[in-house]
Structure 1
Amino acid sequence: MNFHQNFLVIWRIAIAAVLLGVATIGASAPAIAQESAAPTVIRSIQVQGNQRVEANTVASYLLFSPGDPYSESRMDTSVKTLYGTGLFADVSIDPRDGNVLVSVIENPIINRVILEGNKSLKSDKITDEISAEPRAIFTRASVQEDVTRIIELYRQSGRFAATVAPKVVQQPQNRVDLIFEITEGPVTGVKRINIIGNAEFPDRRLRKELATTESSWYKFFSSNDNYDPGRLQYDQEQLRTFYTNRGFADFRVVSAVAELTPDQEDFYITFTVDEGDEYTWGDISVETKLDTLNKDFLQNLVPFRKGEIYNASRVEDAIDSLNFAAGIGGYAFVDIQPQIERNRDTKTVDMVFNVVEGQRTYIERIDIVGNTTTLDSVIRREMELVEGDAFNRILLERSRSRVRSLRFFENVEITETQGSAPDRAVVEVEVTEQPTGELSFSAGFSSADAFLVDLSITQRNLRGRGQLLRFVIRASSNRREVDLRFTEPRFLGRNLAASFNLFDVVIDLIDEANFRQRRTGGQISFAFPLTEYTNFNGRYTLRQEDIEFPRQDECPSLLSGAGTSTNTGNNRQLLNLCDQLGGRLSSIFGYTFAWDRRNDPITPTGGFDVRLSQDIAGIGGDVQYLRTDIRSNYYKGLFKDVIASATLAGGYIRGWGGDTVSINDRYFKGNFEFRGFDNAGVGPRVLQFNADTGDTLVFGQDGRRDALGGNIFGLASTEVSFPVGIDSLLGSVFLEAGTVGSLDDSDTYNIIISSDDANFTVGSSCEGITAVGVICERTEDGLDPRVTVGASVFWESPFGPIRFDFTQPLVKQQYDDRQSFQFTTRTRF
């Protein structure tokens, strides 16, 4: 081997050694590095900077603890976790050779929340909506959220220019006062509502359908002339409903834009609509395979016919009618499937109602929620369904109406959800309690009663059991009353309401009828349902009745015959009152039959109710009579919030066993019972007149218009109530007719009370006499009709409800006490 070859061998050996060394170093380097970077174990954790929060609490949020190996990722996550608590404004974690230092700066505590500049919104309304409150943690993020919420509240009230500037005032002990400086700005009204694209209906007509109205100077009680985005969405639906109910099936609102004026005081609202074409109903049919249902009969129940203008709302009416008919036919569970086919070429809408038997569902459970005071049993006993019954939506709606009629709840909602199986349903009755206990003092004034004062203690839901306890002291210029009443709606656990009440009532009719009466006694009654819509109430009343009148001191001499001129008219009327002096005991059995088919027990818009009452006095006691009263009301919704009502009422009382009807048991009508006439302003009266001319001189003794009351009365009225476009203000127009009269023969007379001619004797009959100088007196008693028309205004003012009645007589009698204007108001303290 030569030198050159030896050199190459040596060179290769050297290169291999170098590569082997490098490889060895490379392989051992990680091990060396790993040995030099052995993991650090956390030996201790120290917390500093905390003032209110305990160190242990801070450490509980960390993702490491002593003995754990150091980890950068856990350190970072711990910082984020501490920030997330909202307790700290700054957090840092510093590891120092296994000793970890956690430094925190706590967020301040809110000492006070102060609102400045708010005038239109009460402070309570704002503070209820924001999260900031005393002793809460202060963070800038939460403050900004509160600022946004306050601005939103002002926008909802129509102030879009409102601004809110939060300010912080540092206090000792890391506390701050949070101040919201509010600039409310002007109320942002609606300057103009424009509607583009309408050809069939003018803008003025469409604006009447909108809840939003244009601002005007006289709408100072309304809030609908302020811009509200939520109300704008509602208005779009109102327009759609208006058009689709008038044949325009293709109608749509293309856009609804609200533009704020440069001065930020008003909005311009523009609706762009596409009316489409007008449609009529085409072919209408009902299809069913149910054996007991006749298709032709069902089709006659559909409330629209071919060729009529298309009306989308009538489809729901048709479904309700078909559901009701199917229920009568024995199918409580049917599914009405309407199929609508719109023919754009012929501009008709064909409708097929498919009536199929639905899946039978049973009630698995009834849950009562929201009742914090009322016992579950009080609500359940009003339900017409119980667990295990077949599901019936009609009965559920009736149950909701029954629960609402208790008037214990502000709101009642019944919903159903899927149960544990497809044929099971869970019914949830959600109620919102309202105050049922009341301690109130109210005062008012009316044109009839002058002042009114009312002090009452009432609990309509005693101990949450549905019991009623009421104590009332009431006084006005002509009535004073003390009444204590208790009612148990489920006496002895049965569907039987038992009640008793004690009363002391004084009715002052001195100015109207020349007497005052007092009734003291008690009553017990029992009421129970006869059917779903009828109710029976039986009662017994025992009361002591006394009357007094200005000339009662003359009674002893008049009754003994020693009084002067006992045949004169004045003394004749006085004798009738004297006969009742000294008090009488009345023992009265009675009942009331009620039939109620109103669609809502509180604010009816449809249906009717009838009440028939009879009372018989004389089974014991000193008084004998039979009284019958009947009253019926009918309600019909004409348009949105426009309701028509009609009332018929009548009564008849007659004595039996030889008794006549006393004056304090007769009917006295007028005032708000018969608008257009004063209290006791209608009915028989004493009339003095010249025999030769028939000219009336005075009414009753001393010129007073003494009413006598009547044994019969009849009243009829019709009324239409409607909103007048201003919040809290309602109006109505009415027509009323009625009569009062028909006294007992012994209570009527027509006699001479004075004469310049000796041929005529005082106290003799005046029938047919036309002589000069003869003055006669008679009781004017006839069932002559009276008719009035008028208008009423109801205002729910901040001081209480106020009612005004303006009336004009169409038919009246000369001696009636007219009252063309009446009002009443009452406020509660």
Structure 2
Amino acid sequence: MSLINNSLLQRVLVFLPFFLLMLAAGTSHAGQKQILVLPFEINAPEELEYLQTGLPSMLTSSLRDKGLDVVEPELGQTLITREEVSYLDVEKARRLALLGDGRFALYGTFNAVDEYISLDARLVDGYGERETVPFYIVKEGVINILPAVEELAEKVYQEMLREERIASIDIEGVDILDPDVVLLRLQVQEGDMYDPEKLNRELRNIFDLGYFDDVQFHVEDTPQGKEVTIVVEEKPLIQNINISGADDISESDVREVLTTRTGSVVNPQIISEDLGRIRELYRGKGYYNATVDYSISEIDEREANLNINIDEGNRLFIRGIEIRGAEEISERTLRGEMELKRRGIFSWLTGRGVLREELLDRDVAALEAFYADKGYIDARVGQPDVDYEEDGIYLTFHVEEGHRYKMGEVSFQGDLLVSEDELKKLTILDDLGEEGEYFSRSSMQKDTQNLADFYTDYGYAFAEADVNMQVDEDEKKVDVIYNLSKGEKIYIGRVLIEGNTRTRDNVIRREMRLTDGDLFRGSDLRRSTERLQRLDYFEQVDIQPVPTEDDNVLDLVTQVEEKPTGMLSAGAGYSSYDRVFFTGMIQQRNLFGKGYQLSFSGSFGARTTRFDLDFWNPRVRDSNLGMGADLYWIDEEYFTYDRDTRGGRAKFAYTIGEYTRLHWNYRLENYEITNVDDDAHRDIKDLEGENWSSGAYVAAIRDTRNRRINPSRGTRNLLSVEYAGGLLQGDDNFIKYIASSDYYRPVLNRSIFHWKGQAGYVMRNTDEDIPNFELFRLGGINSVRGYAARKLAPRFDDGEVKGGDKHFFTNFELLHPLNEEIGLMGLVFFDAGNVWDKGESVDFDLYKSIGAGVRWYSPMGPIRVEYGYALDDLEDSSRSQIEFSMGHEF
């Protein structure tokens, strides 16, 4: 008993400061919240009989620690004795509470059974306004008597505060909106302490939602606590959205940018944001003076119309771009570096001439970079002036050119892995210095990248190449010091794949050039990205090195974003050869997520009908071997006969190194020559009837292009041999050799230079003649443009096209983006080529042509429209051709 009393005394002393604070905070509970603690019935061994008086004392102390007003415990015993109470129940406890000047009475029993103790208590309201609340506490061991008392005191405290808590929150007045629109935005929740200031803030927040004309809070006291009712008056429902003034931009385009919908409640804030979107839509189309406002017309108390009024104004285009201060470099040259362009005659197609304000800062930076690239390292370009005139927009850029500096010496400091002479092979600035050229900032940036990339190939993933420029103001020269820091060698821990939901991990991993445990190599990392992008399975590919617990180890996280690889397409078009044609295709380029390719396609034209069923596995069991097969049905109309073919191919390929692949296949086909003209040559008449063709094809292809479609750099070289007949049997006997080469390189102002050359030779492999349809013919959109398709070839004596056993053609193209957003390119070209007959020597007396065209890399595939003008006369062919093709790779 002494230990218990001492422990109680210590706790009272410890909690005395908190008791005083809580007493001050709890004054609102005084008076009516007085509690009379009555003696508890003790069902315990004799040594715990002291709890008869000790337990009420401990409870009183704990309740007071929590700021509650408690009657002295001696009064309870006095009242029981005076009123001759032999046992306690709810009614007697209620009467004793009132006699003791308290509102509540707390009584109960204490039980000690085996190793457990329990408190079974009741809190009784003397006025009878609140229901009696039971409490039950169980602890293990007598030592936990005090924790049990404190737990009981805490529960009593929470119950006493219940009247000051929010018991419920209800919404009234919402007929259109869901009550959750309000409830989910409340910070105050049921069970929180009632705070009028917080509720006032909630009122303002609800009003700021914009959905209500009025918001009120009603609070009612109940025995369970505060019942809060939020009464709102909704704004009317939008029945219709009327748009007036949308003439040059369609009303449907305006509606697309709106977030306000019919059936929603009028919300001025959201409507204001929608008006801003409409203004941006008009500015993006060149209507910079467009104004937009709105009005609300009520139909009745609950419904209204939203009226959006647009005044489009005049459409303004960029009519003039002036660059003031440009003396050493012409304005025309500088304008060529800018993204913003003046309005031109083809602007309806290219979109040029529209002011996109985000490009103003871009063009300022581009002009400064161009000056720095020409040696003007101090050049500055200020923010442009934008003048909106009646006839259009005029831009004025202000330039301070400064002095021009030549390139001086290049040196290296820091961690040098190789000699300076070896490092200079990687840099450009040292060559400019030796040639007396001017300093070039872009060359310096390329140098730093080349040096860092060089170090990463030795495993130094965090290698850096900093630049220290030494400017000689007197000599007007710039010396550059590259400071190289290699860091530590880095190894690959794990290669992790993320973001692929369809494509299997192994399809991605087999394209990676770095794997677990490899020494980090920057070139292998870049090549891995290129290979994954060339798969064309992903919208984005991002390979990020991620630190691990080991400073010398990085994990590679390969994050991909998949895109649809299946395609169902149909279309119609026109080509100079097939006239009107129709095409359709079903294709899956990543079947089962394994990288398999399966397609079925068909096309119908005036001269050609074709069906193809094709399957290809590019990496059998993740090896370098590819296998596949295809079946085809081709009906083709030549100039003097028809050829109907049914056949199939077994195809194989094997990758050698990083860029080279060997291809081989075997084909077997049955074809029939029909509808031979009466005046056709004897060589063609001899083909009439049913025939079999058996042939093998072998090719080596080296492809370093950065993209398969619309490449901008790299080469593609092909060397192939096709052997038919002879040892392979069949009715066709020939050996055909073809070599071709494509070269792509970026040139000035985002243009791309493309050169293609192709030569071929076909020869007998028996005494039989080569089939006419296997001889070469040129002309048309895929060889020498400007000449009719298949008309550029040797002829029979009667002028009928015969074909030759040798051919050569070349294309020179300069492509320039007209609209990069939609993939529109313009081009000019020069073509030359010829076909030579059997026994005729190759004299390179070539047929030549020039022309221009556009190419659109559309979702349906590449579309070409090109005009060619023949520079030489050709029988049965006009001097110019407008040609169209769709869906063919070029």
User: What TM-score do the two structures reach when normalised by structure 2?
Assistant: 0.73
Change (3 A) 1:290 1:210: closer
Choose which of 846, 853, 863 in structure 2 pairs with 1:793: 853
1:628 aligns with 2:758: no
How far off is 1:627 after superposition?
1.6
Offset, 1:523: 0.7
Sort the Cα spacing of 1:818 and 1:71 in 2 relative to 1 into closer, same or farther, 3 A.
closer
Contact 1:729–1:793 (8 Å) recurs in 2: no
| Structure 1 range deviating more: 55-64 or 145-154 | 55-64
Distance (Å, rounded) in 1 between the aligned partners of 2:729 and 2:402: 77
Q: Does 1:604 align with 2:694?
A: no
TM alignment of 1:358-373, pairs within 5 A: 358-364=487-493, 366=495, 371=500, 373=502
Give the AA of the match of 1:234: R
User: 1:176 and 1:367 mapped to 2: Cα distance?
Assistant: 56
Give the secondary structure class of the aligned counterpart of 1:160: coil
Is contact 2:176–2:265 with CA below 8 Å preserved after alignment? Answer: no
Contact 2:318 2:353 (8 Å CA) reproduced: yes
CA shift for structure 1 position 81:
5.2
Which residue of structure 2 aligns with residue 735 of structure 1? Answer: 830
The letter for the 2-side match of 1:496 is L
Equivalent residue runs for 1:98-247 within 5 Å: 100-107=228-235, 115-121=243-249, 126=254, 129-133=257-261, 136=264, 138-170=266-298, 174=302, 177-216=305-344, 219-247=347-375
The alignment status of 1:305 with 2:432, answered yes or no, reads: yes
Q: 1:79 to 1:425 in 2, by over 3 A?
A: farther
1:657 partner SS: coil
Partners of 1:69 and 1:631 lie apart in 2 by: 83
Q: Does 1:484 align with 2:613?
A: yes
Aligned-residue offset at 1:468: 2.2
Post-superposition CA distance 1:336-365 (Å, at most 9, x none): 233222222322111112333233334455
Q: Displacement of 1:671 after TM fit?
A: 1.8
TM-fit CA distance, 1:156: 2.6
Task: Report what 1:717 is aligned to.
Answer: 811
The corresponding residue for 1:76 is 200
**Aligned residue for 1:580?**
687
Aligned-pair CA distance for 1:313 = 0.8
- 1:247 deviation in Å? 0.9
Q: What does the per-residue CA deviation read over 1:175-212, in whole Å, with 9 as the maximum and x for residues that have no partner?
A: 55544333333222223222222221233332222221
Equivalents in 2 of 1:483, 1:119: separation in Å? 48
In the superposition, relative to structure 1, how do residues 169 and 402 fare at CA in structure 2: closer, same or farther (>3 Å)? Answer: farther
Inter-CA distance 191–646: structure 2 relative to 1 (3 Å threshold)? closer
| 730, 746, 754: which one aligns with 1:637 | 746
**Letter paired with 2:830:** L
Are 1:663 and 2:798 counterparts? no
Matched ranges for 1:513-528 at <5 A: 514-528=640-654
Question: 1:674 and 2:799 equivalent?
Answer: no
With normalisation by structure 1, the TM-score equals: 0.77
Picking from 796, 803, 826, the partner of 1:686 is: 796
Greater displacement, 408-417 / 533-542: 408-417
Residue 657 of structure 2 corresponds to residue 531 of structure 1: yes
**In the TM superposition, what whole-angstrom CA distance separates every residue of 1:698-736 from its partner, at most 9, and x where no partner exists?**
xx1xxxx31111122222332333457999765444333
Q: How far off is 1:275 after superposition?
A: 0.7
Counterparts in 2 of 1:269 and 1:454: CA distance versus 1, 3 Å: same
Cα distance in 2, alignment partners of residues 373 and 138 from structure 1: 44
The alignment partner of 1:220 has SS state of helix
Secondary structure of the 2:277 match is: helix
| Paired position in structure 2 for 1:803 | 865
Gaps of 5+ in 2: 1-25, 35-160
Residue 749 of structure 1 corresponds to none
Change (3 A) 1:411 1:197: same
Greater relative CO, 1 or 2 (CA 8 Å, sep 6+) = 1
Contact 1:682 1:816 in 2 (8 A): no
For 1:550 and 1:204, the matched residues in 2 are separated by 61
Q: 1:298, 1:325 within 8 Å by CA — same for their partners in 2?
A: no
Equivalent residue, structure 1, for 2:760: 651
State whether residues 455 and 486 of structure 2, in contact with CA within 8 Å, keep that contact through their aligned partners in structure 1: no
Aligned to 2:84: none
CA distance in 1, matches of 2:497, 2:266: 40
Alpha-carbon distance in structure 2 between the residues aligned to 1:786 and 1:685: 16
Q: Which deviates the most, 466-475 or 122-131?
A: 122-131
**Which of the numbers 437, 452, 457 marks the counterpart of 2:586?**
457
Q: Please point out which of 407, 419, 428 is paired with 1:294.
A: 419
SS in 1 for 2:871: strand
Alpha carbons of structure 1 residues 176 and 720: separation in structure 2 relative to 1, 3 Å: same
Query: 1:110 & 1:381 partners in 2: Cα distance?
Result: 57
Q: Relative to structure 2, which stretch is displaced further, 191-200 or 226-235? A: 191-200
Q: Partner of 1:584: helix, strand, or coil?
A: strand
Match of 1:504 among 622, 633, 643: 633
8 Å CA contact retained: 1:42, 1:100? no
Q: 1:254: how far off?
A: 2.4
Q: Distance in 2 between matches of 1:60 and 1:666?
A: 78
Checking the alignment, whether the CA contact within 8 Å between 1:739 and 1:783 is kept in structure 2 is no
Cα drift, residue 57 of structure 1? 8.6
CA gap of 1:346–1:583, structure 2 versus 1, over 3 A, is same
Q: 1:172 to 1:592 in 2, by over 3 A?
A: farther
Cα separation, 2, equivalents of 1:69 and 1:784: 97
Cα gap change, 1:330 to 1:710, in 2 (>3 Å) = farther
Label 1:725 to 1:468 Cα distance change in 2 as closer, same or farther (>3 A): closer
2:172 corresponds to: 48
Larger radius of gyration between Structure 1 and Structure 2: 2
520-529 or 643-652, larger mean C-alpha shift:
643-652
Give the counterpart of 2:377 among 249, 256, 262: 249
Higher deviation after alignment, 186-195 or 127-136: 127-136
User: Which one is further off, 228-237 or 315-324?
Assistant: 315-324
Give the counterpart letter for 1:256 in structure 2. Answer: P
Separation in structure 1 between the aligned mates of residue 231 and residue 818 of structure 2, nearest angstrom: 67
- CA contact under 8 A between 1:684 and 1:781: conserved in structure 2? no
CA contact (8 A) 1:644 1:721 kept: yes
**Residue 122 of structure 1: CA displacement?**
5.5
- The structure 1 residue matched to 2:722, chosen from 605, 615, 623, is 615
Which residue of 513, 521, 526 maps to 1:384? 513
SS at match of 1:603: coil
- With over 3 angstroms needed to count, the CA separation of the structure-2 counterparts of 1:63 and 1:582, relative to structure 1, is closer
Secondary structure in structure 1 of the residue aligned to 2:272: helix
> By how many angstroms is 1:73 displaced?
2.2
1:399 aligns with 2:461: no
User: Using a 3 Å threshold, how does the CA distance of structure 1 residues 90 and 544 change in structure 2: closer, same or farther?
Assistant: same
Q: Deviations over 1:48-90 (max 9, x none)?
A: 3233567799678767789987542243244245446666443
